Amino acid sequence: MSADGPVPEQAPGAGGKAPQPSGVDLARVALRAAREAARARGDAAQQKKQARRGGLRSGARADGRDPMALGSAINRLITERGWETPAAVGGVMGRWPQIVGEDVAKHCVPERYDEDERVLVVRCDSTAWATNLRLLAPTLVARLNEDLGHGSVRVIKVLGPGGAGPGRRYGPLRAPGSKGPGDTYG
């Protein structure tokens, strides 16, 4: 201190070095740490006492054991487990008609989503719709990524009708090299 009053502390850049914490500041920090440690010990002792009395009981204050709304619990579980992308894609599968349109949704259905490869597999009921969906795939991938977040869907794999038509027949009327009757999807 000078005769005029307390000496102002210098800024960290002005004088070369930062001011060191004084004894009062160090005492405040130590007191705050001691209070937090005592509070933690008191909380632990309180829980032990409650456990001896017949289990932990909920009090007037909110804690992690209180019941919560179903939506909040599900959102917390999804976040804790890292299921955000699969859950979002599942939501897309539920809203498929709104995303692709009613006409396409009648003939093309999403089957599964591979999270590792980021591939959405869609099955169509005819080769014509499979071809149509292949042409729409880049636009559809862009629309899905706008909805889900960039890079959520990398590719849409389009499958044609499964098991359409009779199986392959072998016999005297079969032409050599023929692939048999059925759809021309290939």
Q: Is the pLDDT of residue 177 over 50?
A: yes
Mean pLDDT of the region 12-39: 72
Alpha-carbon distance of 134 to 126, in angstroms, equals 12
Q: How large is the greatest C-alpha to C-alpha distance in the chain, in angstroms?
A: 121
Between the alpha carbon of residue 4 and those of residues 7, 8, 15, 19, the distances in Å are: 8, 11, 21, 21
pTM exceeds 0.95 for this model: no
Sorting pLDDT into bands at 50, 70 and 90, what band is 2?
very low
- What does the pLDDT look like over 55-103, one tens digit per residue? 555 667 777 677 878 888 888 887 887 777 677 777 777 788 888 888 8
Q: What angle do CA 178, 180, 184 make, to 5 degrees?
A: 100
Cα-flanking dihedrals φ and ψ of residue 123, to 5°?
-105, 135
